[in-house]
Structure 1
Amino acid sequence: MVSASSEQQPYGDAFRYFPFYHVYQQPSKTSWTKIVIMLQILNTLERFHYKKLRYSPIYAALSKVLDLPPENLIKSISAVPVSKKRHVADFQLSIASVTEDSSSDCLAQDLNLQAQKLAERLKCDAVVSEISAGPGTVNFTIHRELLAKIVLQQVLKDGSEYGVKSELFSTVPRQKAVIEFSSPNIAKKFHIGHLRSTIVGNFIANLKVALGHEVIRINYLGDWGMQFGLLGVGFQRFGNKDKLKSSPLQHLFEVYVQINKAAEDENTKKLAKDFFRKLEEHDEQTLSLWKQFRDFTIEEYIRIYKRLGVHFDEYSGESFYQEKSQEVLKMLEDKGLLQKTITGTGIVDLSEKKDLSSFSTVMRSDGTSLYITRDLAAAIDRMNKHSWDTMIYVTDKSQSNHFQHLFQILKLMGYDWAERCQHVSFGLVQGMKTRRGEVIFLEDVLNEVRSRMLQNMASAKTTKETEDPMETAEKVGLAALIIQDFRGLLSSDYQFSWDRALQSRGDTGVFLQYTHARLHSLERMHGNEHLTDVNVACLQEPDAISVLQHLLRYDEVLYRSSQDLQPKHIVSYLLTLSHLAAVAHKTLPVKGSAPELAQARLCLFQAARSVLANGMKLLGITPVTQM
């Protein structure tokens, strides 16, 4: 391993505790003291696991030279991204991250000089085969056989937990997170605009669960408000009970369109207000009709969520808080925060100078609640009920101002936990059309992508016979939608393209699914070999090394996504992994190779497929095994 002096320190002897020790010599008597010292630095032998193992020799030497605790180096050493153009090292230390003077006025040449000096003080040994200085970095290359053994052993041992056990997460506290997402409007068909909220919220929930957090997924339905006054009047005027039973959402949508055309009439507006007021007063007949709308709609939504592979722990809604919102208004009044305008509406002054230059309306002139009032009640109720550590709202960016006001009012009310509320916003999807024209409803999109994938699968020469082509097309089609959506920043609008999304080659969800199915087929054809039977010394080819190096980076990608809640990091990683695996599949054949070589390559492809499947599941994609 790496040594901080001219004396060769046999830290590599610590590897005798692992199954692959047979590639090393027995330690001499004089080396035990140094091994014990190293293990003390690393705390216990149990902690000397993949991440400790992959960095520990480097940590130990650098800790000595830089006079820093090994744990301080965890985020300073990273795996080097794979490059098609040149050979790269396995790990690199960023000099700026361990230098006190890492400000912008610290010249790059100073960092380069420090990197050069540090590289000269470190020596190669049984683990590190090469040390070099780069632009502001010190680069380390691990002996190839050792690299392959460590990576493949850990990927296949950890399975679905590979990467999430990384010491990068050791200082991240396990938390309880409430995530509100999807949140469509009752009595309306699932609008395409809610697709992004649904898949983004599902990704965030999946990621947090994988990292050991407790997650409560809440679907906060738009099931209250003045629109129900309008819908109620519309149903009384245009509704049909038989159609409501046979095709509830379609019929309610038609009714809503009709009544909206008549809504310019003042009498219609008055009737709608009266209907909603009766709802707030719990009029029995009005509530009964509203409950029918709600029950029929939720039943339909659950069916669509099943197609998306999404579930919720709690179905909530604005209606749950219409009474509690009155309590919130009373609290605002008691705290001197509620002000009345000339017209009788209730507002909260949010301006710093208290000059009403910024305010939020929280009450109508007739005393009824508003969307933000019910959101205030919901936030307070969730804290009382769940005692969460963080609460995340996933909606489009047009609601950024709403959530800014919501969090400000909560702070003014004395709730310090408002600092732990977060709005994850996203942009709009543009140009999503089916063959019949502009898309309004999500189910039309799901049907369209499934139909197009079935056509593509039927015409492709490489398509295998599957047990359920419809289900396969659905899973691959959903992957196509998710990857196109997640490739860029969530806050950006993007132009949707069916042709681009459904390409079988290139950076698409279809390509991810195809790669996973192909690797799974390879395993099925040749069987799964135990790691103990594999001679990884066979894996010396550049294409094999590239896959191994890329697998090293998975935990860092997970960490980055966990910090900014952006799926694009994982998407980019998986696409690169798929391309590297595709190249290796061509250049490193299993069939026809010598048994020892075939087993080693099969082990490599099995590891790649395992990590690919893990990442896809985090994104909300169900990997297919045939297509």
Structure 2
Amino acid sequence: MAACHFRRSIASQLSRVLNLPPENLIKSISAVPVSKKRPVADFQLFVGSVIENKSSDRSKPDLQLQTQRLAEKLKCDTVVSEISTGPGTVNFTINRELLAKTVLQQVFKDGSEYGIKSELFSTLPRRKIVIEFSSPNIAKKFHVGHLRSTIIGNFVANLKEALGHQVTRINYLGDWGMQFGLLGAGFQQFGNEEELQSNPLQHLFEVYVQVNKAAEEDENIKKLAQDFFRKLEARDEQTLSMWQHFRDFSIEEYVRIYKRLGVHFDEYSGESFYQEKSQEVLKMLDTKGLLQKTIKGTRVVDLSEKRDLSLSSTVMRSDGTSLYITRDLAAAIDRMKKYNCDTMIYVTDKSQNTHFEQLFQILKLMGYQWAERCQHVSFGLVQGMKTRKGEVVFLEDVLNEARSRMLQNMASAKTTKELENPLETAEKIGLAALIIQDFKGLLSSDYQFSWDRVLQSRGDTGVFLQYTHARLHSLEQMCRNRQSTDINTACLQDPQAISVLQHLLRYDEVLYKSSEDLQPKHIVSYLLTLSHLAAVAHKTLPVKGSAPELAQARLRLFQAARSVLANGMKLLGITPVTQM
């Protein structure tokens, strides 16, 4: 990584002055964000983070004075061409030709691993990680609410894999529980085998809506639903066969949707796998003295500090059937045995925060210390997601709407090229638009969805990222004959070229930040800035019509920008388009 070479060189000089090991200084030296207003240095050291102040509070030397003194002891060399100070910082400007040469060489040498092959990740232990995400409910169409879990889980898995971890992606289907009692009883009352064959999930959804309504008015329907689920838990052959029928149809539909999203799983699991194992969990809880019976006949685990049941979690119904949390306990224990993983990550909406707090707490009470290494990545809700037909319920409606609107926009745009497969291109751009809109803010935040804002071709959108990538790719194709790896870096001294190079320098720090908090917004912000900088450079630094030496250098710069842009987009789960 180019930044590593420069950080090491700066750290080496600092270590001699501060009498500290260079490795202790590396993470205190950071690349400076590009400024639109003025040229900036390339790296800065926050002096307060490395100077130990052992004197009493009142006699503390002034930080700025310390900064000034430190800067005066440092010297420019073949790497650093200028040293200056800011508020509490020492700033380092790299020799401009060396900056261009080193950054471009590293981008092309490391390829898809640019930013990953950085000393920031050198001490990172390689882990076995299980990530559970998406997890739709069987026999219901893929709800739009599962979009966030799917794309966030996919991002986390992509990032962890890129960093060298061994990742297992699990789709833990909601394929058990009392809702199947309702659906089974409902299908017996309102179901139609022909309609099930022709449009399975739509028909099951309609049946589920009907039976829910009927259950509100008729207690007998509730009783039939409870009987159906009891038979299911008892493994009654006829009941189990109907449930399997619903499950098979559902998975077939989900796989088709995941293909559109560019998402894959290593394992399709489900609550049903753990129905029997949940009984073993209940026995373990009982053996450990953790199971308590309530007046209503339910079984609970006391989670209160004073052990007075002021906070508890119900793990068994009064009729002996299992609950969601019981099956989750069984699944967690089973996965740890099966995969011997270091970490388990669950990606669900924030309404399940309490559920996961209780899940991890019960596992710890059972003696499983690895529960400390389990993590819940939660996210907020999306509001106002509607199609032209009205309120959106299903994910496929959203994907179709994004593709349809994008096709319309492409057809009316003057810059649109003739495409071999406009439908496929519109799908990729539409999905990029949805992902960038979703990933721009903190994952835990709710946000207001707007089609107009999402699909803008200018501004901070997924459409703009795709447009920039396609534009830079077209430039490469157009100038194929001029491409050269041996360029004159003296030709890349314009402010616009320097800004792009400086930004490329920061990529490893951005990846490091996202790897620490699992927030995609850092990468999104970085890629949007890169696209804006590349757009300005493309406008002011023409390749076509320039002298061969100048054209080759600029083309190499744009290739590097496109390569890093594509790498970042893929991490986010976006397939870059080459034409639009």
| TM-score band, normalised by shorter chain | over 0.9
Query: Which residue number in structure 1 is paired with residue 425 of structure 2?
Result: 472
Equivalent positions of 1:328-347 (< 5 A) are: 328-347=281-300
How many Å separate the matches in 2 of 1:110 and 1:394?
46
Matching residue's letter, 2:157: A
Question: Is 1:502 aligned to residue 452 of structure 2?
Answer: no
Query: Which residue number in structure 2 is paired with residue 136 of structure 1?
Result: 88
Query: Which residue number in structure 2 is paired with residue 424 of structure 1?
Result: 377
Tell whether the 8 Å contact from 1:108 to 1:136 is kept in structure 2 after alignment. no
How many Å separate the matches in 1 of 2:53 and 2:512?
26
Matching residue's letter, 2:282: L
How many Å separate the matches in 2 of 1:57 and 1:317?
52
Among residues 301, 323, 342, which one is paired with 1:348 in the alignment?
301
Query: Which residue number in structure 1 is paired with residue 42 of structure 2?
Result: 90
Matching residue's letter, 1:211: L
Tell whether the 8 Å contact from 2:53 to 2:60 is kept in structure 1 after alignment. no
- Offset at 1:102? 10
Question: Is 1:605 aligned to residue 558 of structure 2?
Answer: yes
Query: Which residue number in structure 1 is paired with residue 406 of structure 2?
Result: 453
How many Å separate the matches in 2 of 1:579 and 1:159?
22
Query: Which residue number in structure 2 is paired with residue 401 of structure 1?
Result: 354
Q: Deviation per CA, 1:69-104, whole angstroms, max 9, x where unpaired? A: 111111100100000111100011111221224999
- Offset at 1:54? 1.9
Tell whether the 8 Å contact from 1:338 to 1:347 is kept in structure 2 after alignment. yes
Between 297-306 and 118-127, the greater mean CA deviation after superposition: 118-127
- Offset at 1:113? 1.6
Tell whether the 8 Å contact from 1:96 to 1:102 is kept in structure 2 after alignment. no
Structure 2 CA distance for partners of 1:109 and 1:605, relative to 1, 3 Å? farther
Matching residue's letter, 1:96: G
Matching residue's letter, 2:415: T
Tell whether the 8 Å contact from 2:483 to 2:552 is kept in structure 1 after alignment. no
Question: Is 1:482 aligned to residue 435 of structure 2?
Answer: yes
How many Å separate the matches in 2 of 1:101 and 1:348?
50
How many Å separate the matches in 2 of 1:167 and 1:117?
29
- Offset at 1:109? 8.0
Tell whether the 8 Å contact from 1:190 to 1:441 is kept in structure 2 after alignment. yes
Structure 2 CA distance for partners of 1:98 and 1:305, relative to 1, 3 Å? same
Unpaired stretches in structure 1, ≥5 consecutive residues: 1-48
Unpaired stretches in structure 2, ≥5 consecutive residues: none
Tell whether the 8 Å contact from 1:308 to 1:478 is kept in structure 2 after alignment. yes
How many Å separate the matches in 2 of 1:234 and 1:524?
59
- Offset at 1:108? 10
Tell whether the 8 Å contact from 1:225 to 1:370 is kept in structure 2 after alignment. yes
Question: Is 1:236 aligned to residue 188 of structure 2?
Answer: yes
Query: Which residue number in structure 1 is paired with residue 28 of structure 2?
Result: 76
Equivalent positions of 1:103-502 (< 5 A) are: 110-264=62-216, 265-502=218-455
Paired positions, count: 579
Q: Deviation per CA, 1:392-447, whole angstroms, max 9, x where unpaired? A: 00000000000000000000000000000000000000000000000000000000
What SS does the aligned partner of 1:322 have? helix
Q: TM (normalized to structure 2)?
A: 0.98
Matching residue's letter, 1:213: H
Matching residue's letter, 1:391: M
Among residues 9, 15, 18, which one is paired with 1:66 in the alignment?
18
Tell whether the 8 Å contact from 1:407 to 1:418 is kept in structure 2 after alignment. yes
Tell whether the 8 Å contact from 1:529 to 1:603 is kept in structure 2 after alignment. no
How many Å separate the matches in 2 of 1:102 and 1:209?
43
Tell whether the 8 Å contact from 2:103 to 2:501 is kept in structure 1 after alignment. yes
Tell whether the 8 Å contact from 2:128 to 2:165 is kept in structure 1 after alignment. yes
How many Å separate the matches in 1 of 2:534 and 2:8?
28
Q: Deviation per CA, 1:288-307, whole angstroms, max 9, x where unpaired? A: 00000000000000000000
Matching residue's letter, 2:502: Q
Q: TM (normalized to structure 1)?
A: 0.91
Equivalent positions of 1:581-592 (< 5 A) are: 581-592=534-545
What SS does the aligned partner of 2:37 have? coil
Matching residue's letter, 1:271: L
What SS does the aligned partner of 2:367 have? coil
Structure 2 CA distance for partners of 1:108 and 1:132, relative to 1, 3 Å? farther
Tell whether the 8 Å contact from 2:3 to 2:505 is kept in structure 1 after alignment. no
Tell whether the 8 Å contact from 2:181 to 2:226 is kept in structure 1 after alignment. yes
Q: Deviation per CA, 1:191-212, whole angstroms, max 9, x where unpaired? A: 0000000000000000001111
Q: Deviation per CA, 1:269-310, whole angstroms, max 9, x where unpaired? A: 111000000000000000000000000000000000000000
Matching residue's letter, 1:148: A
How many Å separate the matches in 2 of 1:535 and 1:497?
46
Tell whether the 8 Å contact from 2:6 to 2:79 is kept in structure 1 after alignment. no
What SS does the aligned partner of 2:84 have? strand
How many Å separate the matches in 2 of 1:547 and 1:151?
10
Between 131-140 and 103-112, the greater mean CA deviation after superposition: 103-112
How many Å separate the matches in 2 of 1:362 and 1:113?
62
- Offset at 1:571? 0.3
Structure 2 CA distance for partners of 1:235 and 1:105, relative to 1, 3 Å? farther
Query: Which residue number in structure 2 is paired with residue 576 of structure 1?
Result: 529
How many Å separate the matches in 2 of 1:413 and 1:182?
28
- Offset at 1:56? 2.3
How many Å separate the matches in 2 of 1:341 and 1:206?
45
Structure 2 CA distance for partners of 1:109 and 1:518, relative to 1, 3 Å? farther
Query: Which residue number in structure 2 is paired with residue 41 of structure 1?
Result: none
